[in-house]
Structure 1
Amino acid sequence: MAKKILVVEDNELNLKLFCDLLAAHDYEAEPVRDGREALARARSFQPDLIVMDIQMPHVSGLELIEQLKADESLRAIPIMAVTAYAAHGDEERIRAAGAQGYVSKPISVMRFVEAVEALV
């Protein structure tokens, strides 16, 4: 059975790229365009991994990571942060919030896939 990955990304092109890449590597990808829907979708989809954009409107990926890790039923799901927001100290802050993986944009296709495989 294919591993399930929830992809939380507001940029339509990135969302399609991530989902297509995951599907090409035999993962079942579930897209979420609005971070406000991420927790409910994670509960219903029960993914093996969450790929989380950090900079989104309405709610930041950092806040969502903290909310996911605070939820008893979701905290065990590994999270891979994907962000163009790569200032000094950001990776440490994102990992401190609970992300187990971190990939900066623009992504390297091979690095993205390797990071996913390391977490599922």
Structure 2
Amino acid sequence: MLRILVIEDSPVNMALTVAILESAGHSILQADHAAEGIEIARREQPDLVLMDIQLPDIDGLAATRRLKADPRTAQLPVIALTAFAMKGDEDETRKAGCDGYVTKPIRYKEFLAEVNAVMKRRAEAAQR
């Protein structure tokens, strides 16, 4: 079971994301603004951050860069959750420091597979 921070401003998307993750046995922390999410990440040190890219205060790419630049949160894996699915969008999220990429609307199996893949890569890297 993972402790996952979901940073998402849409109540519908938040509810769906939380339902999927909880059904897979994970515990969830929630934030609907990037600044709040960054503070929760610093304080709670979740196992994983799911970051919406379009947020009302700070966009998710800038928020990810802040997390990765902060020694307290630099090691946290971040998966981008985004409606942006154009060519090059995934590359932009990677450049900002995201470790994974999931497009909306979320597809249950693919979403959980990406969460598992990112955490597996993280565990393998830690063993090296």
Give the structure-2-normalised TM-score. Answer: 0.89
Query: Please, which runs of 5 or more residues in structure 1 have no aligned partner?
Result: none
Instruction: For residue 69 of structure 1, report the CA deviation from its aligned partner.
Output: 0.4
Structure-2 separation of matches of 1:35 and 1:98: 15
Instruction: For residue 91 of structure 1, report the CA deviation from its aligned partner.
Output: 0.7
Structure-1 separation of matches of 2:63 and 2:34: 7
The 8 Å contact of residues 7 and 29 in structure 1, kept in 2 or not, is answered as yes
Deviations 1:56-92 (A, max 9, x none): 1111000001000000010111000010022221110
The 8 Å contact of residues 55 and 85 in structure 1, kept in 2 or not, is answered as no
The 8 Å contact of residues 54 and 61 in structure 1, kept in 2 or not, is answered as yes
The 8 Å contact of residues 30 and 37 in structure 2, kept in 1 or not, is answered as no
Structure-2 separation of matches of 1:38 and 1:107: 20
Structure-1 separation of matches of 2:73 and 2:21: 21
Instruction: For residue 98 of structure 1, report the CA deviation from its aligned partner.
Output: 0.5
Structure-2 separation of matches of 1:29 and 1:19: 7
Structure-1 separation of matches of 2:10 and 2:89: 20
> Amino acid of the residue matched to residue 111 of structure 1?
E
Quick check: which one's helix share is greater? 2
The 8 Å contact of residues 8 and 31 in structure 2, kept in 1 or not, is answered as yes
Correspondence for 1:39: 38
Correspondence for 1:49: 48
CA RMSD of aligned residues (A): 0.9
Correspondence for 2:14: 15
Instruction: For residue 14 of structure 1, report the CA deviation from its aligned partner.
Output: 0.6
Query: Please, which runs of 5 or more residues in structure 2 have no aligned partner?
Result: 120-128
Matches within 5 A, 1:64-75: 64-75=63-74
Instruction: For residue 31 of structure 1, report the CA deviation from its aligned partner.
Output: 1.0
Give the SS at the match of 2:9.
Answer: coil
Correspondence for 1:105: 104
The 8 Å contact of residues 65 and 99 in structure 1, kept in 2 or not, is answered as yes
> Amino acid of the residue matched to residue 41 of structure 1?
I
